[in-house]
């Protein structure tokens, strides 16, 4: 069996010809925490957000995308000459205590990879098991082809079409108060 290469850590590592073909959406669960709980949690969240923002501003963008990969933090940034300089108070963040746990990838509508674990590099392993035991998980994923993969692609399309308006609204809320051009971190 051929050894698989490690997965790319982010979109920038994909081959140029594949970047535009990648479609990804994070679907937030409808079960959002209400206003009262957000206000009760506000002091703790404010402290944690401040620490995180200050840490990310100090280290800049690195392999994990830094602030660029975290648009939910943009409205908690102080800006000077188009660059983030530190933390500023912002509204309490929206919180979702539950998640959708569907994990699947569709490849050209012909193949689907369906599994129970998060698809990330921390849980990536190969047949030589070079990761420490506490860094890997055991689970089953399946490569599906044919009509079952087409069903999975249709399911993905329904999810995408249903969730895209809400996803755009949430991202606009995260990034809107700072102004997209003014806050662009690229």
pLDDT in tens, the chain (186 residues): 344 444 445 555 667 777 677 777 777 777 888 889 888 998 998 999 999 889 888 887 666 677 777 777 888 888 888 788 888 888 888 888 776 777 788 888 889 988 866 656 666 666 777 777 676 766 778 889 999 999 999 988 898 888 888 888 887 877 765 543 444 444
Q: Would 10 be classed as within a structural domain?
A: no
Bridge partners of 18, per DSSP, are: none
What pLDDT sits at residue 1? 38
What pLDDT sits at residue 148? 92
Our CA dihedral for 9, 12, 17, 22, rounded to 10 degrees, sits at 60
pTM for the whole structure: 0.55
Q: Would 172 be classed as within a structural domain?
A: yes
Q: Would 37 be classed as within a structural domain?
A: yes
**Number of domains comprising the chain:** 1
Backbone angles phi and psi of 90, in degrees to 5: -145, 180
Domain that holds residue 73: 28-123+140-183
Q: Would 166 be classed as within a structural domain?
A: yes
Q: Would 115 be classed as within a structural domain?
A: yes
What pLDDT sits at residue 117? 65
Q: Would 133 be classed as within a structural domain?
A: no
Q: Would 128 be classed as within a structural domain?
A: no
Q: Would 2 be classed as within a structural domain?
A: no
* Angle at CA of residue 106, ends 101 and 108, nearest 5°: 170
């Amino acid at each position: 069996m051929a050894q698989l290469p490690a997965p790319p850590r982010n979109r920038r590592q994909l081959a140029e010809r594949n970047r535009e073909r990648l479609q990804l959406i994070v679907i937030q669960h409808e079960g959002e925490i209400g206003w009262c709980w957000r206000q009760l949690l506000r002091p703790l969240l404010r402290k944690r957000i401040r620490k995180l923002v200050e840490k990310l501003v100090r280290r800049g963008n690195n392999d994990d995308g830094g602030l660029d990969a975290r648009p939910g933090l943009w409205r908690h940034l102080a800006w000077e000459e188009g660059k983030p300089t530190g933390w500023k108070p912002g509204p309490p963040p929206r919180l979702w205590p539950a998640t959708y746990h569907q994990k699947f990838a569709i490849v050209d509508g012909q193949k689907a990879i369906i599994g129970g674990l998060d698809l990330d590099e921390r849980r990536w392993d190969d047949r030589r098991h070079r990761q420490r035991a506490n860094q890997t998980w055991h689970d089953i994923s399946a490569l599906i082809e044919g009509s079952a993969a087409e069903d999975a692609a249709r399911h993905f399309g329904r999810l995408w079409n249903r969730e895209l308006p809400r996803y755009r609204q949430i991202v606009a809320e995260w990034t809107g108060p700072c102004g997209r051009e003014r806050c662009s971190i690229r």
